[in-house]
Amino acid sequence: MSNPNSEGAQRNTEGSPLLETLAHRVRALRENLSWTRSQLAERSGLSLRFLAQVETGDGNISVLRLEALAQALGTTADRLVRPRAQRSEIVTLVGLRGAGKSTIGPLLARRLGCPFVEMDALITEASGLTLDQLFELHGERYYRRLEQDTLRTILARGEPAVVAAAGGVVNELKTWEVLRKETTVVWLRASPEDHWSRVVAQGDRRPMTDHPAAMQQLRSILDEREPVYGQATITVDTSWKVPEEIADDVENQLSQFRHELAD
CA distance 101 to 123: 17
Element holding 139 (H helix, E strand): helix 131-157
CA distance 146 to 119: 10
Residue type, 171: N
Same-domain pairing of 29 and 144: no
Q: What pLDDT sits at residue 176?
A: 94
% of the chain with per-residue pLDDT over 70: 86
Q: What backbone phi and psi angles, to 5 degrees, belong to 103?
A: -90, -45
Q: Where is the domain boundary, 28, 59, 81?
A: 81
From start to end of the chain, where are the E strands?
Answer: 90-94, 116-118, 161-164, 184-189, 234-237
Contacts of 150 (CB under 8 A, 6+ apart): 119, 122, 123, 126
Does position 231 have pLDDT exceeding 90, yes or no?
A: yes
Tell me which DSSP letter residue 257 carries. H
With bands split at pLDDT 50, 70 and 90, how would you rate the model's confidence at 212? low
Q: What are the pLDDT digits (tens) for 153-192?
A: 888 777 889 999 998 999 999 999 999 999 999 999 988 7
% of the chain with per-residue pLDDT over 90: 46
Assign residue 153 the CATH number of its domain: 3.40.50.300
Q: What are the pLDDT digits (tens) for 53-89?
A: 999 988 889 999 999 999 998 888 887 887 755 445 8
Assign residue 28 the CATH number of its domain: 1.10.260.40
Q: Which domain does 117 fall in, by range?
A: 90-262
Q: What backbone phi and psi angles, to 5 degrees, belong to 90?
A: -115, 125
Q: What pLDDT sits at residue 9?
A: 45
